[in-house]
Amino acid sequence: MRNSILACVLGAVMSLYGRSALAQTSTTTSTATTAPPSSTTTAPPSTTTTTIPGSCCGPATCGMVINVDASNNGKTLFLAASDPILSAPCSGNGITVINKGRNAVNQSFTIDCQTNQSNPITGGPTGIGIMLKGVNLSVFNCYVDGFGTGMASNGDGSDIEDSQVQNASGDGFYVKSRVKITNLNIIGVTFTGNGAFSNGGWGFNMPANEIFSGTGTTFNNIADTNGKGGFYVKGDGNALSGNEAFNNGGPGFLIISKSCCSGSSGQSFDTATASSNVGPGIVYEARDDGSNCVGGSGPSCTGGTFYPTGFDTTPGGINAADNGPCPPGSLPFQNGNGVCPIVLRAPCSQAVLNRCP
């Protein structure tokens, strides 16, 4: 009886391994036909990423370049723990995704590192950890340690969420999009749940228009102990909510918007916390479109002051403590704690505002 039971168990094990080998052959034929027999059970499990619906392009390697086209449009590169890019530091760039050309606006691609916090993509003091070039490109759940710039994006419609960069020699995140807010086809940038820690430049360097960074009382993006400052955001129509900046070497936040049309395109800044920054906690520079009257009444804000468009003056909406002093020209608003709203240029005329989209 014991022998018959043992025979049944062995048969089940053989059947299991046979199915595993068959599945491996169907996903990566070259691995199954060239690897020695002993490696079939120890081969890197990166081939399992190809079994995830919509996945492609792995395993991920240092210097990898993915050009988006009809063959991989809408798909995702899922990183696996055994991917070579996670096993040793990259000497140059990490992963680059390019989506350009006439059909780029109809294409998309995503990198999902599946929360590789315990085993980040690492690199030396040059290069870029993850680079997105073009429109409609996304990064989720990715952790990068080192490089010259941790993550960089240059294109409208980018989406970076739940990711972290630390110890870059330059900026942690660099996000650029120069599609103007007057362009009716603008998509905007989604940027939420990210962290920038101990980078040499800005934690978040973002010359872009129509950035959406989350809403509510949760702190969506955090910049801590970055050399130049926490957040540098220069552009129009940016909605920045629920962000934190601590212990940075410059300003916690430096927000600049020069367009009179920013307000009608969603420009706002609220639910922020800044403390213990060497520079001012928050410097917010924008135009006066007549929409942000504090302490006054009527179209001319009689008895009060017009603050820059989109700046939240609600008590408790912005919290700051132990920051550097405000620059000249700042309006009074928690100046002792380094909160510094600044109105740029002359008030916007009605004729200009009438031409806003």
Per-residue pLDDT, 71: 95
Q: Is the pLDDT of residue 22 over 60?
A: no
* 266 vs 342, residue with greater confidence: 342
Q: Tell me: the pLDDT tens digits for 223-275?
A: 999 999 999 999 999 999 999 999 999 999 999 999 999 999 999 999 999 99
Least confident piece of the model among 107-116, 151-160, 185-194:
185-194
Per-residue pLDDT, 13: 33
Q: Is the pLDDT of residue 9 over 60?
A: no
Q: Is the pLDDT of residue 317 over 50?
A: yes
Report the pLDDT averaged over residues 180-189. Answer: 81
Report the pLDDT averaged over residues 37-51. Answer: 39
Percentage of residues in the chain having pLDDT higher than 90: 73
Per-residue pLDDT, 17: 36
pTM: 0.84
Q: Are 110 and 141 in contact (CB under 8 A)?
A: no
**Confidence grade of residue 172 (pLDDT, cut at 50, 70, 90):** very high
Q: Phi and psi for 47 in degrees, rounded to 5?
A: -65, -20
Per-residue pLDDT, 320: 94
Per-residue pLDDT, 52: 67
Least confident piece of the model among 41-55, 250-264, 298-312:
41-55
**Confidence grade of residue 115 (pLDDT, cut at 50, 70, 90):** confident
Q: Tell me: the pLDDT tens digits for 125-158?
A: 999 999 999 999 999 999 999 999 999 999 999 9
Q: Is the pLDDT of residue 62 over 80?
A: yes
Largest Cα–Cα distance of the chain, in whole Å? 98
Q: Are 127 and 90 in contact (CB under 8 A)?
A: yes
* 1 vs 131, residue with greater confidence: 131
Summary mean pLDDT of the chain: 85
The two three-digit tokens of residue 337, written as one number: 């704690």
Q: Exposed, middle or buried: residue 55 (CB in 10 Å: 0-12, 13-18, 19+)?
A: middle
The two three-digit tokens of residue 154, written as one number: 């240059």
Per-residue pLDDT, 318: 92
Q: What region does 67 belong to: left with phi over 0, alpha with psi -120 to 50, or beta?
A: beta
Per-residue pLDDT, 63: 97
Report the pLDDT averaged over residues 62-87. Answer: 96
Which strand ranges, in their side-by-side order, compose the sheet holding 75-78? 75-78, 109-112, 137-140, 159-161, 189-192, 211-212, 239-241, 268-270
Per-residue pLDDT, 213: 77
Q: Is the pLDDT of residue 66 over 80?
A: yes
Per-residue pLDDT, 180: 81
Percentage of residues in the chain having pLDDT higher than 70: 83
